[in-house]
Amino acid sequence: MAAPSDPNRVLIFDTTLRDGEQSPGCSMNLAEKLEMARALRDLGVDVIEAGFPIASPGDFESVQAIAREIQGPIIAGLARCNFADIDRAGEALREATNKRIHVFLATSAIHREFKLKMTREEIINRAVEGVARAKKYCDDVEFSPEDAARTELDFLAEVCEKAVEAGATTLNIPDTVGYAVPSHYADIIRHLKKNVRGSDKVVYSVHCHNDLGLAVANSLAALLEGARQVECTVNGIGERAGNTALEEIVMAMRTREDYYKLTTNINTRLLVPTSRKLSMVTGMQVQRNKAIVGQNAFAHEAGIHQDGMLKNPSTYEIMRPEDVGIPSTDLVLGKHSGRHALKARIQDLGYTVDESQLQRIFEAFKVLADRKKSIYDADIEALVDNQLHSGASEAWQLVNFSCNASFGVPPTAAVSLKHADGRTVCEPAVGDGPVDAVLKSIQRGTGIDLKVTDYRVRSVTGGLDAQGEALVEVEYDNRKLSGRGVNTNVIEASALAFLQVINRIALRQVRPRMKPSDHVPQEVVPAV
């Protein structure tokens, strides 16, 4: 892709579906990837990195389906610098209207010596061959020297120059392990733009990891040096501590346009809805104090802050909540509110539901309204998240449960579940506590054993009648999965969270990830 005609326009390259999905617990099936791809298209991203086609049959199918359906953004597939990877990516992207093959090869001394066992000359030859092969499938080819931030500058410049000569149109400079700091990373971009012949013909891209919490800062520093593409993920998900957060880098440029003088094509009013959609799809929630999209991002508790906000919101808010997709006012609903009011509120919060989904949410809303005097935005969001993907498509549904816990007597539980095939099961169990007993009952009834690695309960809203949110992380078949349930009864919320994970497994929503060695004996699954 050629550089934008506007020199101040920054391309947003979203890798939520590739690097983001590699985050433990964030695996997505085909339907979920398509759902997120549609959301990213609507958000206005320029490039969607749809996956790593050779990694598994599921990844190939996802990239192929997204390439076939999604119009507008460039659809990219990742490939190592070997012919098998590149050919597989080319086939997956064949039906895309706008497509890109993103090839990568490690260049740092530590990777050359211990991972690849290749010399500098071999690296250069492999990079040139990879770019040239990718050009056979599409004109738009991106090259990434993996672990660029720890690569000797003279060698990094040489590899990049050879890649440009071979036909690369984008040079991505990854800080693969989050090692760089802003001034260091800016120096790298400055050096390359000065010393790589043909720099004026390519787009410089940045791909930063957040191991030191500097991914956004490093990306911004690179933009000041002329980089014009940022690789990022919704909610900052990704390997280890994650990637540059899309919502943060976009709003930093927008809020400080006076300083950066840069623009993007992102519809910022969809940032929060897109964030919530990803949380719903993966089960991984953002922390309350997460910048831009966290629950506390526009909350003010201190009296001095509240007083300032009442006088002028700009005293303590540098962004307007409605600019990122948060309604500026709360519409408090109650048990006398009707479907139309609820539907309007759901739409205001950025969700799209059909009539059957609305009916299920409305029924849950009425149950909640009988328990609570006032229902706030956070309550509505919790109901939508909890109900949106429930129903007949699930393998197991919660019918009812009983749980007994008292001092000196082991807790017991009996959870009644209905399977999609019509049968009902109810297996009593004894546990160390009421939640443990509920989990054991669910496991016995479904025949699926889980190893719980993390379990948390928090209040969704304030007050004694607040809904409780149960968050659970489990390990199953060497993979991590997350589940979430919301209810005023925290035991029921916990049961719903466990059941969400069970359904992901029962409906084969987690694909087995094939090892690269099953295809070609080269590098490991990418950490670009």
Cα distance between residue 483 and residue 420, in whole Å = 20
What is the pLDDT, as a whole number, of residue 69?
Answer: 97
Cα distance between residue 80 and residue 83, in whole Å = 8
Mean pLDDT throughout 101-124?
A: 97
Cα distance between residue 427 and residue 416, in whole Å = 7
Please check the confidence at residue 413 and state whether its pLDDT lies above 90: yes
Mean pLDDT throughout 95-104?
A: 98
Strands (DSSP E) along 422-478, which ranges? 424-430, 451-459, 468-476
- Half-sphere exposure of residue 246: CA atoms within 13 angstroms, side-chain side: 35
More confident residue, 348 or 440: 440
Pairing state between β 396-406 and 99-106: unpaired
What is the pLDDT, as a whole number, of residue 411?
Answer: 92
Hey, which CATH number is domain 396-506, 3.40.1410.10, 3.30.160.270, 3.40.190.80, 3.40.50.720?
Answer: 3.30.160.270
Residue pair 228/9 in contact by the 8 Å Cβ criterion? yes
Cα distance between residue 269 and residue 322, in whole Å = 7
- The percent of residues above 70 in pLDDT, for the chain, comes to 87
Give every CB contact of residue 361 below 8 A, 6+ residues apart in sequence.
342, 346, 353, 383, 384, 387, 388
- Please write the tens of the pLDDT for every residue from 474-501: 888 777 777 888 888 889 989 988 998 8
In the chain, the amino acid numbered 53 is: P
- Please write the tens of the pLDDT for every residue from 302-361: 444 445 545 666 776 788 888 888 765 444 566 777 788 788 878 877 777 888 888 988
Using alpha carbons only, how large is the chain's radius of gyration in Å? 25
Render the burial of 432-471: b for 16+ CB within 10 Å, e for the rest: eebbbbbbbbbbbbbebebeeeebebeebbeeeebbbbbb
Cα distance between residue 489 and residue 258, in whole Å = 49
- Region for 71 from its dihedrals, namely left if φ exceeds 0, alpha if ψ lies in -120 to 50, beta otherwise: beta
Residue pair 218/243 in contact by the 8 Å Cβ criterion? no
Which SS3 state, helix, strand or coil, does residue 157 take?
helix
- Please write the tens of the pLDDT for every residue from 139-194: 999 999 999 999 999 999 999 999 999 999 999 999 999 999 999 999 999 999 99
- Please write the tens of the pLDDT for every residue from 253-290: 999 999 999 999 999 999 999 998 998 888 788 888 89
Of 141, 140, 139, nearest to 127 by C-alpha is 141
Mean pLDDT (the chain) is 87
- Please write the tens of the pLDDT for every residue from 9-60: 999 999 999 998 887 778 888 999 999 999 999 999 999 999 999 999 999 9
494-498 long-range contacts, CB within 8 A, separation 24+: 494/435, 494/438, 494/439, 494/455, 494/457, 494/470, 495/398, 495/401, 495/415, 495/438, 495/442, 496/386, 496/398, 496/470, 497/470, 497/471, 497/472, 498/438, 498/439, 498/442, 498/450, 498/472
Q: Give the burial class of 495: count Cβ atoms within 10 A of its Cβ; 0-12 exposed, 13-18 middle, 19 or more buried.
A: buried
CATH architecture of 11-264: Alpha-Beta Barrel (3.20)
Q: Return the bridge partners of 484, or none.
A: 471
Residue pair 70/62 in contact by the 8 Å Cβ criterion? no
Is the overall model pTM greater than 0.85, yes or no? no
Mean pLDDT throughout 494-518?
A: 66
Cα distance between residue 19 and residue 203, in whole Å = 21
End-to-end CA distance of the chain: 20
Of 151-155, 226-230, 367-371, the least confident: 367-371
Cα distance between residue 425 and residue 444, in whole Å = 9
Residue pair 118/112 in contact by the 8 Å Cβ criterion? yes
What is the pLDDT, as a whole number, of residue 52?
Answer: 97
Strand order in the sheet with 468-476: 451-459, 468-476, 479-487
Cα distance between residue 504 and residue 127, in whole Å = 39
What is the pLDDT, as a whole number, of residue 300?
Answer: 46
In the chain, the amino acid numbered 185 is: Y
Of 524, 528, 516, 520, nearest to 55 by C-alpha is 516
What pLDDT band is residue 458 in, cutting at 50, 70 and 90? confident
What is the pLDDT, as a whole number, of residue 460?
Answer: 74
Residue pair 209/215 in contact by the 8 Å Cβ criterion? yes
What is the pLDDT, as a whole number, of residue 329?
Answer: 45
Share in percent of the chain as helix, strand, coil (round to 5): 45, 20, 35
Of 60, 114, 66, nearest to 90 by C-alpha is 60
What single-letter DSSP state applies at residue 112? I
Pairing state between β 47-51 and 170-175: unpaired
Please check the confidence at residue 461 and state whether its pLDDT lies above 80: no
Scanning 136-181, the segments in alpha helix (DSSP H) are 153-166
What is the pLDDT, as a whole number, of residue 332?
Answer: 55
Q: Residues in the chain, how many?
A: 528
What is the pLDDT, as a whole number, of residue 513?
Answer: 43
Scanning 94-149, the segments in alpha helix (DSSP H) are 109-111, 120-135
